[in-house]
């Protein structure tokens, strides 16, 4: 099973992209990374690593596995959680990085609850909405989820491991058909973590 995570810093990402993007494009992505790093400062992932590692992994998957050179999409990869998990707004993203980047980020941002709606219902509504995403936006979401689950065994809560495995199989794995490369990644991942389907709750 392939895992990603060689881009530990922006310098790592920039070095990997230098032959594929122009200087101006790299500067734009550096600005997106700096914006994300500032807003996610102090946040960590469940296993304890800095949150920025996840953002770089999503961009790494898009760039190295899916050969993405679209800087809007790569910028959205770096910014994809900034509206959901920090005080930054969609308007902030649009003003600094343009309307398409903001639209991409909005599409993968969990919506606020509607009146009387609980958290589980919001999550299900969000997952259902993924089926209607355009192909480029869906690739962004799939890269995000693959980064989240590629080291699922490191999550500190076994119950969360099982729930996330089941949710990913049900809602995300079928959507990976949008790109054969993502489908292959998720097929290998599903086999690698198949034991989680057999673990009692």
Q: Give the pLDDT confidence of 39-53 residue by residue, as tens digits.
A: 999 999 988 999 999
Q: In total, how many domains does the chain have?
A: 1
Determine the pLDDT at residue 130.
97
Is residue 161 included in any domain, yes or no? yes
Is residue 139 included in any domain, yes or no? yes
Is residue 167 included in any domain, yes or no? yes
Is residue 173 included in any domain, yes or no? yes
Residues assigned a catalytic role? 84-85
CATH number at residue 184: 1.10.3210.10
| Phi-psi label, residue 92: left if phi above 0, alpha if psi -120 to 50, beta otherwise | alpha
Q: Give the pLDDT confidence of 141-170 residue by residue, as tens digits.
A: 999 999 999 999 999 999 999 999 999 999
Is residue 5 included in any domain, yes or no? no
DSSP code for 19: T
Query: Residue 152 sits in which domain range?
Result: 10-198
Is residue 1 included in any domain, yes or no? no
| Residue 53: Cβ-neighbour burial (10 angstroms; 0-12, 13-18, 19+) | middle
Is residue 158 included in any domain, yes or no? yes
Is residue 2 included in any domain, yes or no? no
At residue 50, the 3 state secondary structure works out as: strand
């Amino acid at each position: 099973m392939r895992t990603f995570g060689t881009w530990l810093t922006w310098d790592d990402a920039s070095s990997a992209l230098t032959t594929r993007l122009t200087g101006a494009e790299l500067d734009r992505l550096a600005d997106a990374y700096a914006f994300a790093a500032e807003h996610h400062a102090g946040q960590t992932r469940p296993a304890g690593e800095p949150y920025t590692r996840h953002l770089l992994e999503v961009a790494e998957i898009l760039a190295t596995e899916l050969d993405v050179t679209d800087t809007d999409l790569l910028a959205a990869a770096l910014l994809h959680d900034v509206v959901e998990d920090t005080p930054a707004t969609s308007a902030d993203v649009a003003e600094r990085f343009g309307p398409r980047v903001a639209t991409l980020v909005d599409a993968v941002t969990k919506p606020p609850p509607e009146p009387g709606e609980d958290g589980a219902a919001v999550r299900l509504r969000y997952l259902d909405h993924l089926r209607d995403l355009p192909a480029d936006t869906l690739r962004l979401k799939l890269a995000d989820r693959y980064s989240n689950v590629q080291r699922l065994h490191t999550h500190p809560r076994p119950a969360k491991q099982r729930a996330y495995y089941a949710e990913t199989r049900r809602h995300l794995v079928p959507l990976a058909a949008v790109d054969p490369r993502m489908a292959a990644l998720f097929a290998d991942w599903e086999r690698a973590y198949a034991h989680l389907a057999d673990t009692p709750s």
